[in-house]
Structure 1
Amino acid sequence: MYNIYLFDFDYTLADSEKGILMCFRHVLNTYSIEDITDDAIKRTIGLTLKDGFRVLVKSDDEDLLNQYEKEYIVKADEVMTAHTTLYKETIPMLRRLKEAGHKVGIISTKYRYRIEDTLKVYEVSHLVDLIIGREDVQEAKPSPEGILKAAEYFQANSSEILYVGDSYIDAQAGQNAGVAFAGVTTGTTTKEDFKAYPHIKIMESLDEVEG
């Protein structure tokens, strides 16, 4: 039914929760910011780093948010790849899609080089045709920019594309891009949350991706 399968990364293809929490905690502790729970941090996964900090510390001070982001990235360069694991369903699903002749892409607010590092660790870079990360777009999701760039790259129309993500932000991005969307409940967005957005399917795991 679809020729192009696009995926979010964090909480969709991979569990990087431990690394993300470590990096946020490093920055928050550096600035003696307390009373922010792990659950609050987890709910920001899918936002840009600046927007994540904006939500957590309730500040619109751009200089301060930029500094938080820079310090997060430095820490992430040290620890993120080592604390990121692909879900057990991810590699079999990607292989299944490639064997069926489909094209596969990743559209994420995570930096592309970090996603590439994880794929290299698992030796599955060849299973992904395109990665569009935060550095590749001017506007992050829910902007449709990343999905539309992928459509242009693959020379595909919207009816050929399925976008799969774990967050309401992904659902909004799919809606804004005019492509089919399938939600997966491996993140913090629930099945009930997804029902508020256009979708073809709400899944418990990537085992349910058909191709």
Structure 2
Amino acid sequence: MTAPKPATVLFDWDGTLFDSGAASLRAFRKSLTDFGFAFTDAEYKASYTPRWYRMYETFGVPRELWEQADQRWLHHYGEEEPGLVPGAPEVLAELESQRILTGIVTNGTRPRIERELARLGLQAAFRAVICHEDVTRSKPHPEGVLSALARAGCSPASCWYVGDTPVDIEQGHSAGVFTVGVLTEYVDATRMEQSRPHLMLRSITELPEALYRFTSTTSSKILGGN
């Protein structure tokens, strides 16, 4: 099959554009330590999902503590100041130069996302920003992606959705868009491959090349691989 050049590229925020992986891990570890729970980096990587309640369940945190754990995570994460992932500014600039619209679909809360965008000077960089409060059903339900497309005035057939977790890819598939997975050190690569993105990248920096190469010849493989 062939993949059309997208009119819109939607991104997950945390871990995909925003270099929050290490900060998120530190905050998650501190928040669980506050309640007497511990885990290894390998356990975190094997089970990571942006759906925190599933993470709490995996690590044995009682349901009655989940809301408090959320608040502790927000407190600890607020002490961090990550930036964009390396190469992300150049990727966004390249998409803009090609007149490709961009947007964000995230499970993050709007106050946090707006604060981070403002700190990075990106308040006006995206045509649509869909946060936790903007949907009734969170990832992997397609509502977030479809809402972003409605705001951008774009159809699923002309959209790519880029994310770093299996939940992102599942959401993209459900929305009927072209899915792009990005490998990171915080999510197990096998889990990403099993989510079957249309295209897998080793880094967000490979996205511009994918726009040139993958719009004419496609297969579900890592860009540049065999």
Distance 2:146 2:178 in 1: 13
Give the match for residue 54 of structure 1. 57
1:85 Cα deviation (Å)?
A: 2.2
Partner-residue secondary structure (3-state), 2:37:
coil
Give the match for residue 16 of structure 1. 20
Please tell me whether the aligned partners of residues 142 and 169 of structure 1 are also in contact (alpha carbons under 8 angstroms).
yes
Matched positions, count: 204
The superposition leaves residues 41-86 of structure 1 with CA deviations (integer Å, 9 ceiling, x where unpaired) of 3455442222221222264x2x32122112222333x313x1x121
Relative to structure 1, the CA distance from residue 150 to residue 135 in structure 2 (aligned partners, 3 Å threshold; closer, same or farther) is: same
Relative to structure 1, the CA distance from residue 70 to residue 129 in structure 2 (aligned partners, 3 Å threshold; closer, same or farther) is: same
The AA in structure 2 aligned to 1:21 is L
Distance 2:183 2:136 in 1: 28
Distance 1:207 1:138 in 2: 32
Please tell me whether the aligned partners of residues 24 and 72 of structure 1 are also in contact (alpha carbons under 8 angstroms).
yes
Where does the alignment leave 5 or more consecutive residues of structure 1 unmatched?
none
The AA in structure 1 aligned to 2:137 is E
Please tell me whether the aligned partners of residues 37 and 59 of structure 2 are also in contact (alpha carbons under 8 angstroms).
no
1:170 Cα deviation (Å)?
A: 1.0
Distance 1:194 1:17 in 2: 16
Please tell me whether the aligned partners of residues 166 and 189 of structure 1 are also in contact (alpha carbons under 8 angstroms).
no
Please tell me whether the aligned partners of residues 164 and 182 of structure 1 are also in contact (alpha carbons under 8 angstroms).
yes
Give the match for residue 136 of structure 1. 134
The superposition leaves residues 2-37 of structure 1 with CA deviations (integer Å, 9 ceiling, x where unpaired) of 111000112211221232123222222221223x11
TM-score, normalised with respect to structure 1: 0.86
Distance 2:68 2:103 in 1: 31
Please tell me whether the aligned partners of residues 127 and 151 of structure 2 are also in contact (alpha carbons under 8 angstroms).
no
Identity among equivalent positions (%) equals 25
Relative to structure 1, the CA distance from residue 111 to residue 44 in structure 2 (aligned partners, 3 Å threshold; closer, same or farther) is: farther
Please tell me whether the aligned partners of residues 184 and 205 of structure 1 are also in contact (alpha carbons under 8 angstroms).
yes
1:101 Cα deviation (Å)?
A: 1.3
Distance 2:182 2:166 in 1: 10
TM-score, normalised with respect to structure 2: 0.81
Give the match for residue 74 of structure 2. 73
